[in-house]
Amino acid sequence: MRNRPDCLVVGLSPAIQKTLVFETLETGEVNRSEKYYIDSAGKCINVCRVLSQGGMDSSCLTIAGVENRDYFKELCRRDSIDVRTIETSGRIRTCTTIIDKSKPGFVTELVVNEPEIITSEEEHSVKSAFLDRIDDGYQCLIISGSKFAGFSDSIVPFMVKTAKRRGMTVFADFRGKDLKNSFTSETERPDYIKINKDEFFETFTGYSTLEEGLKDISHKYKCAFIISRGADSTIAAQNGEVFEIESTLIKAVNPIGCGDSMTAGLAQGIGEGLSLKEAIKKGRDYATLNALSIHPGWILAGN
């Protein structure tokens, strides 16, 4: 029997990331970049790349517009990312990161939602590909990122339910209807939810404080929440117990992909049998390594 990956990472909004580095950036002027880098990206790709660099066997399932799919897949191959793409119309979006070296900490990201709207036939192809891969022996499923326009509100909850019925551990890094509708019972829901404070309140309304909401939902559904807060401490809850993990303060080179790196480290830590607190620390360490790299979703030294 062939070796099978530990984690299946699924995402419905991949990207090609262009990172432009300027010695100084002047508005209203012609600016020539000192260097530029192009990477396959999107939250699912970033997570899968970090898992691979961390030594975990992982595979990514995502969509790819036919116009630039081959280029995207070549970028994935360059970074040894095991990816399967479902062809859609249009093109994969391009996200642009701008770094101004003359202003410490100045990093901004420009996102253009280029793809055509996903059709019902394309969604059916995604479901079929997912069902084909989910029975391939994976221990966990990571669903990361939002979905493109045209996808139904049922597709993400369908993936969560399918994975849970196969006994898999499910990690969620998405919000809104997709997340709320994924909570159907104590057993059919994500096991670990990594979002930020605003995303929590966008998804779960009616709570006066974050602690109240985390206690209630994590206890009711027997799950865990990890609430990232940038440079501030991470707040987590598991089965009704709330605690904090301190952040590591550094001078970041490029913060894009830090949240995805944290998701990857969290999933790897849980897969290795660490406690939630220790797994969060592993995620924090991966996010720190990512912030020191020019590339998004990257934890290897010297890049």
Q: What is the pLDDT of residues 190-224, one digit of tens each?
A: 999 999 999 999 999 999 999 999 999 999 999 99
- In the predicted model, what is the mean pLDDT of residues 222-228? 97
Q: How many CB atoms lie within 10 A of CB 221?
A: 20
pLDDT for res 4? 53
CATH of the domain at 197: 3.40.1190.20
241-245/234-238 β-pairing = antiparallel
Does any domain span residue 70?
yes
Position 34 pLDDT exceeds 90: no
Structural domain of 254: 7-25+33-291
| 18: amino acid identity, one letter | K
Does any domain span residue 2?
no
Does any domain span residue 297?
no
Does any domain span residue 68?
yes
pLDDT for res 1? 32
**Assigned token pair, 203:** 């998804």
Does any domain span residue 198?
yes
Does any domain span residue 301?
no
53-107: per-residue pLDDT in tens?
999 999 999 999 999 999 999 999 999 999 999 999 989 999 999 999 998 888 9
Position 3 pLDDT exceeds 70: no
pLDDT for res 111? 87
Mean pLDDT of the chain: 94
- In the predicted model, what is the mean pLDDT of residues 22-41? 93
Distance CA 189, CA 181 (A): 9
Confidence of residue 177 (pLDDT cuts 50, 70, 90): very high
Does any domain span residue 300?
no
264-300: per-residue pLDDT in tens?
999 999 999 999 999 999 999 999 999 999 999 999 9
Does any domain span residue 296?
no
What is the enclosing helix (H) or strand (E) of 243? Answer: strand 241-245
pTM value surpassing 0.75: yes
For every residue of 285-300, DSSP letters joined together read HHHHHHHTSSSSS---
| The total number of structural domains that make up the chain | 1
Burial of residue 29, with CB atoms counted within 10 A of its CB: 0-12 exposed, 13-18 middle, 19 or more buried: exposed
Q: Kindly state the percentage of the chain with pLDDT values over 70.
A: 97
